[in-house]
Structure 1
Amino acid sequence: MLNELLRSCFKCFAFLWVIVLSHPSFSQTVVKGKVTDVNSGDPIPFANVIFKGTTTGTTTDFDGNFSIKSANPVDSVVVSYLGYKTKTRKIQQGLEQVVNFQLEEITTSLQEVVFDAGENPAYSILRNVVRNKNKNDKRKLTAYEYDTYTKIEIDVDNITEKFKKRKVMQKITQVMDSVDRIAGEDGKPILPLFISESVSKYYYRKDPELKTENILRSKINGVGVEDGTLVTQLVGTSFQEYNFYQNWLNVISKEFVSPIADGWRLYYNYDLTDSVYIGDDFCYRLDFFPRSPQDLAFSGTIWITKGEYALKQIDASVGKQANLNFIEKIRIQQELVKTEEGSWLPVKNRVLIDISELTKFSAGMLAKFYTSNKNIKVNKPYDASFYSRPIVMAEDARQYEQEEYWDTLRHEPLSETEKSVYKMIDTLQNIPIVKTYTDIIKIVVNGYYNAGKINIGPYISALAYNDIEGVRVEGGFKTNMEFSKRWVVGGSLGYGFNDGRLKYSAFLQHILSRDRWTTATIRLRSDLGRVGIDEESLADNYLFLAAQRFGIFRRGYYFNESKFDFRREIFKGFTQRIAFKHSTFKPTFNFGYYQQGDNENSPILNTYENAEVIIESRFARDEIFLQNDNERLSLGTLKWPIVTIRYTHGLKGFMGSDFEYDKLRLSLFKKIRFGPLGVGAMNLAGEYVFNTLPYPLLSLHLGNQTPIYAQVTYNLMDYGEFISDRYASMQYQHHFEGFLLNRIPLMKKLKWRLVGTANVIYGGMNWRNRDLIAETTSNGEETPEAGFLARGKPYVELGYGVENIFKFFRVDFIHRLSYLDKPDTRKFGVFFSFQFNL
């Protein structure tokens, strides 16, 4: 009887308990979702998510995702993060639901933190971070490698109603309707232009310091992007690597000071705001911001582990107050893990660059980069030859673009937004007006018009005017990879309406190897030149070469030239070149030289032929090259200088050559980073001519008689004013960025930057070379007599200037300090230039 009663009571209790648990007040509430930036749509990692009125909360992961649950009565979720407006959203109690948040940035700048007494508690933590750098920095490892996945997206943002009403945008209204949906519930519309994904293997070796990336697969989709060969080399992880353990980080070619740099206290203020577990690591949270908002420094948050004082996570931003052009914001987010050897390596990186509108009637741009690293191996270096090429692209990298296949390669699946981006770009590319505008942009950027298997151009040399040729017109072409991946054919025809002469050039190049870049080139040319313009040395400065076709041709001459050039990269960074050149010289000015040196009774000649062989070695240890179509582009070096040594030998009697001679030339170029003091660029050069030669075959130093500043010239020197057969020169330019002017209250908003220049030549001319000049040339402006550099007396010009005026203009003030005796010598000059700098 008692058992039956207990059994009945238990059933009633169980029934009542089920009823109680089913009541909303006692059922569990689960909220999942994602926190993103309202403008960019990018995830916001490390944001605080909490049930309103409780202490139950969590933080978003690196991809902005969160999951939070509570068995207590709750009706709202609050999301907050430094630099963003806090947002609250209502939820349904007792249910599992998805609630996404889009946060809006706070536009007001951070205020300085003031501590009343005692030391800032963050300082002790930062001192330990610096003290433990050597064991936590990945550069401690002898080698490391990992599998990496990279994703890049470029969008148009800040799309205003005025911009939508422009004629071009009206043609893509249908696409814009879809864009509003891509941006999200509360987000602003964006227009995607480019998206790419790549999978690669990345390798690093410390001693000697070498790195290489093997791009295995790539998927590229973009408006106007046709051939992915060049782009594929740019979408890997090599250009998205940032190490905050370095004192200075190079971001978009600017040097930014790290918040954990050795001299952190000079640049930043800090606030210890929290301590929290991230995974298994207990971390201090420190917020930081620059002491001077105009400095190239970050603001944001770092998480430092308590045990090793290692960087666990970082969210660092640069705002529009910094001394940068066209940049609204830069944001770098990074998550690191500890390796088996103790050092920490980044496993996830996210970089956002927000480019502002150039005008009130244009839109801005967003560039978003994401990398994920897996399967990390450390301290297993390969032979140095393994790292011979910085970037290696698999031949079949672009052949596997099926979506199902890429689902097996991605470290994380694409979001619905990213899937929509692919579809929208496909739609944009098929709009006729979009095709037209992209073709125009390609012509402006590349200088050539793509006409299938050939490129027509370059347009920059199509028209010129000077006193010898009058109006000059020119047209040319060169083949591309559609024609051949091994052979390149090109040529041009030009005509001067004043001199009535036809000019031409033609070349044939064979690419023998792309692995160790090897080319053989034959070139024929007949044209008008200027004495003192070394077109070979100025080959990369095509704007200057085109500009020198205009104006008064002082010391002009006609020439016929045939040339053979062979070059090969022997090993990483070392290129060997052998060339042969034969040319004629027919001056348009009063010129003559004694056939037998200083013998006044010898015949006076005014034309000559010369043949020479050139042997050149070039060493640039950490230079990075990209292959674009059938060309190789240099991105410069990171730390080491570029050293070139050239030996030239004249072959008298060969093909009618009149002279035998020897020349030796050495040059060195180096960019020097001075941290807060800016960046310098130094070019050292020297040449020695061992024989007696007519002065057009000696060293004529490049002057400038225009009001346009040119870095490669001596700006207060006249064209051909100085000649030497031996010299050493230095050309130095220093960009102070905002180092000084940022400290002047009235100058901060202008964002002007100081620049300093110095040009020095020390040299001279042997008396035998002077005596070779015939008396018939010693009159008027054509005489070089006053142009000999005197022994022990260098030519010096020093300058100072201001750049970044209205973002595009630069003004230089140059003083000439030597060779001031001639009445018409320019002792001081003001020069202007147009430049595009960030």
Structure 2
Amino acid sequence: MKRVQILFLLSILSVTSWAQAQGTTVVWGKVTEASTGSPIPFANVVFKGTSIGATTDFEGYYKLSTTQRFDSIHFSYIGFVPKTKFIVAGKEQNINIQLEEDVVNLQELVFEAGENPAFQILRNIVDHKKVNDKRRLSAYEYEAYTKIEMDIDNISDKFKQRKIIQKVTSVLDSIEQIAGEDGKPVLPVFISEAISKYYYKDSPRMAHETVLNTKVTGVGVTDGTLTSQVIGASFQQYNFYQNWLNIVGKDFVSPISDGWKINYEYDLVDSLWLGDYYCYRLDFFPKREQDLAFRGSMWIHKDTWAIRQIDVTVGKEANVNFIEKIKIQQELVPTTESAWLPAKTRVMIDVSELTDRSAGFLAKFYVSNKDIVVNQPKPDKFYENPIEMVEDVNDRADDNEFWADIRHDTLSATEVHVYEMIDTLTKIPVIKTYTDIIQTGYTGYYKIGKFDIGSYSYFFGNNNIEGIRLGLGGRTNIDFSKKWELSANVAYGLKDEEWKYKFHVRRILSRSPWTEVKYMHQKEIDQIWLLNDDIDNANVFYAFSRFGTLIDPFLRQKNYFTFFTVLGRGLSQRVSYRQEYFKPLFDFEYYKDPYAETPTVRNNLSVAEVILDTRYARDEIFVINDNQRLSMGTIRWPAVNFRYTLGLSALGGDFTYHKFGLSIEKRQKMGIFGVGYLTLSGGYNFNNLPYPLLKAHIGNQTPFYFNFAYNMMDYFEFVTDKHVAFRWNHSFNGFLLNSIPAIKKLKWRLVGTVNVLYGGVGQKNYNLIPPTYDTNGSEIAPFFALGQWPYIEAGYGVENIFRFFRVDFIHRLTYTNRPGVNNFGIKFSYKFSL
């Protein structure tokens, strides 16, 4: 009996051992990129040699299980080197893997007979775009969670030898854990999180975002008003149903654009289930590698022909400067009204190092959307401010429990470590010094507590009137007040021994809608030909014009009061009152009344003006940078500016007059032909005025190119009292040059310009100037005006030479016989452009 019990026990143990040996194998983990540490969604994970497998989710996670015995698991994804890992059968095990990018370019596909099977799917996708595109909805809204991380990557040994880097060696020694197992080390410098509500409305097309909470940690960056706005969802909108996607300021053609067959090659790779959706997988790549197009994969839902998932990459071959790689991954979900909206979006931009003594830059963006509501539009007034913040937007930035509750996804261990590392970096003195220098170079001001010293453009000058000019200035910042801004600048000329100064006080009455008042008083030396509202006084062109010999200079004293308010979305109004006194520092006279029996000759000029400026830009986006309101540009619609100026002699001016001005500005996409920048403007003066009060059009006699000037026109060459002007600046991007084998690797880009000016001056305005004669008795014209023909100049050139320089060849096509003018010129310019 005892022997039977022992045999029974042994049999039970053997069965148990056999059952354990034959137990379930469970493998789970995460797949990431080796170079960036970013998750790889949609990657294939299979037990090697079988079809038993799965794809990673949007966060790169996977889980596989089987009762069969296998000794290895295989990971693969398009554009990456496959990798195999050994496993232990019958056990649960965690295997995280990093895949290296495959630097070998994919070969073009060749179809020998019949139509490419992917083409019919593409036609169905395009036919159903209007149904699946989120823009077909009358409205939608959702809660958005946005996470942004920026790192220094590609840290070379030579870069580590820099003195500033050596002082953070202790930090660098620990950063390898940021990238992970096979990854390269990165140095995090910024991370942010934001929770917001995003709203969209069609007819009219408007969007609004309310930023609810932000958490920002960065080297040289604080959670200020501007940061809190730009880290939200408004600047992370990617819609592949559009023909073109604007990324880093460039327009990339979508793989499902209406002209898909012109730009891309396609391959139908597979059909598979993604959750509850049966999908086709299509791989695609651009026909010309230098084009602004994507390479990647998309998963198309079989029943609706909608994009379920998409993964696209722009490589360094594309005609984009400084970019090693751009990667966008998106997962979309259907709404109750058929259209699909992004549920999760991840964007990675890898900026290459400029030299072997510098490092690269890595920016990673993640957006998660939930609680989607469709077709419940709000009143138009709700959308008037494209972006706004709640008052306590960053009050809970340090409340870790609060953020753990409201995040859509938990932070990874790496991201938690990023916060810790950045906090360590910001406490290193040399880091703070360098960030202060960079901020000063960018803004022109150096911050000292509640005050900013600058702008440095006022600190020094040298010209024939003032001699050496020394100056100093400053302003208050938001730490001083959120409602008041005070500013003052003072300068002294060693030759003319005159003080010049400017000060202003500004009061912000409301931030929503933005409303402010400002008073300014100024005494300064200027030039007649620079009395033009097309020039910003902070412009480099204006700063350079103050050196050397000044043309028709005068001493200007000015009092200026203005009231500005936003009346509605895209509509703003400015009302100003200006008093100015001009004392010419050159030979100038005019008649107060040329038709009097004994005309009185005057030298000085006084004006008193009321000015109304109205601007309408339907889809212009503004953000608030502390106490400043900054335009981020328009998207589709033109910007229209109207100005009316009323001169009043009753308030101390020498003349009563009426002036009207109108301008229309538009950025025009031209598909494969690039993008054009169009400006159409005009002005009319109804009364008689001496020429300093007329319109002096900006000439350019420097060797440099400026897009607001007539580059082959001399300084103060033409004056008008009525005019119409047309400007067209066009960048062809890689059009034509991308197709030339010897040129395309240089990434040069063609540019073209056309400037046309038509107008004139009435005889009564000529009569205001006393005649002067040369030694031969011939009358000298006090100024020049256009005749019956318009002034026309046209140019062509190449930009992106050595990634920074532009050369324009410009021809003057009319008024070519004027003495002293050049009819052809070569102009140079410097531009940092992606």
TM-score (norm 1): 0.97
Q: How does 1:437-452 map to 2 (within 5 A)?
A: 437-452=434-449
Contact 1:526 1:558 in 2 (8 A): yes
Map Cα deviations across residues 70-100 of structure 1 (whole Å, 9 max, x no partner): 2111111110000000111112222111111
Contact 2:215 2:223 in 1 (8 A): no
2:823 alignment counterpart: 827
Q: Which amino acid aligns with 1:19?
A: S
Distance 1:377 1:653 in 2: 60
Q: How does 1:247-258 map to 2 (within 5 A)?
A: 247-258=243-254
Map Cα deviations across residues 313-371 of structure 1 (whole Å, 9 max, x no partner): 00000000000101110000000001011110000000000000022210000000000
Secondary structure at 2:649 match in 1: coil
Change (3 A) 1:115 1:639: same
Change (3 A) 1:412 1:71: same
Distance 2:5 2:381 in 1: 82
Change (3 A) 1:784 1:439: farther
Map Cα deviations across residues 550-580 of structure 1 (whole Å, 9 max, x no partner): 2221111111110101111011111111111
Distance 1:456 1:636 in 2: 28
Distance 2:48 2:297 in 1: 24
Q: Which amino acid aligns with 1:580?
A: Y
Contact 1:555 1:588 in 2 (8 A): yes
2:548 alignment counterpart: 551
Map Cα deviations across residues 718-776 of structure 1 (whole Å, 9 max, x no partner): 11110111000011100000111111111011100000001111101111001111114
Deviation of 1:128 (Å): 0.3
Secondary structure at 2:265 match in 1: strand
Q: How does 1:49-448 map to 2 (within 5 A)?
A: 49-401=45-397, 402-448=399-445
Distance 1:610 1:782 in 2: 29
Secondary structure at 1:189 match in 2: coil
Change (3 A) 1:600 1:820: farther
Q: How does 1:355-754 map to 2 (within 5 A)?
A: 355-401=351-397, 402-534=399-531, 536-539=533-536, 542-598=539-595, 601-655=598-652, 657-754=653-750
Change (3 A) 1:541 1:461: closer
Contact 1:535 1:545 in 2 (8 A): no
Distance 1:512 1:675 in 2: 43
Map Cα deviations across residues 506-552 of structure 1 (whole Å, 9 max, x no partner): 10111001011111000000000111213643237622221221222
Of residues 17, 32, 35, the one that matches 2:15 is: 17
Q: Which amino acid aligns with 1:795?
A: Y
1:48 alignment counterpart: 44
Runs of 4+ in 1 over 3 A off after TM superposition: 6-17, 534-537, 598-601, 776-786
Map Cα deviations across residues 158-182 of structure 1 (whole Å, 9 max, x no partner): 0111111211111111111210122
Contact 2:534 2:708 in 1 (8 A): no
Change (3 A) 1:810 1:599: farther
Distance 2:200 2:13 in 1: 66
Deviation of 1:234 (Å): 0.5
Contact 1:594 1:600 in 2 (8 A): no
Contact 1:407 1:413 in 2 (8 A): yes
Deviation of 1:109 (Å): 1.5
Contact 1:35 1:102 in 2 (8 A): yes
Distance 2:779 2:568 in 1: 47
Deviation of 1:603 (Å): 2.4
Distance 1:27 1:663 in 2: 89
Distance 2:518 2:441 in 1: 27
Any stretches of 5+ residues in structure 2 without a counterpart? none
Secondary structure at 1:639 match in 2: coil
Distance 2:588 2:609 in 1: 22
Secondary structure at 1:640 match in 2: coil
Distance 2:596 2:824 in 1: 41
Change (3 A) 1:600 1:49: farther
Question: Mean Cα displacement is larger for which, 686-695 or 767-776?
Answer: 767-776
Distance 1:758 1:541 in 2: 26
Contact 2:140 2:373 in 1 (8 A): yes
Change (3 A) 1:778 1:689: farther
Contact 1:592 1:777 in 2 (8 A): no
Q: CA RMSD in A?
A: 1.9
Question: Mean Cα displacement is larger for which, 550-559 or 326-335?
Answer: 550-559
Map Cα deviations across residues 634-658 of structure 1 (whole Å, 9 max, x no partner): 1111111111111111111323x21
Q: Which amino acid aligns with 1:691?
A: N
Deviation of 1:15 (Å): 5.5
Deviation of 1:372 (Å): 0.4
Deviation of 1:238 (Å): 0.6
Deviation of 1:777 (Å): 7.9
Q: Which amino acid aligns with 1:428?
A: L
Secondary structure at 1:273 match in 2: strand
Secondary structure at 2:131 match in 1: helix
Distance 2:46 2:292 in 1: 34
Q: Which amino acid aligns with 1:548?
A: S
Deviation of 1:465 (Å): 1.5
TM-score (norm 2): 0.97
Secondary structure at 1:532 match in 2: helix
Identity of aligned residues (%): 51
Deviation of 1:10 (Å): 9.5
Distance 1:151 1:380 in 2: 27
* Aligned pairs, number: 831
Contact 1:508 1:521 in 2 (8 A): yes
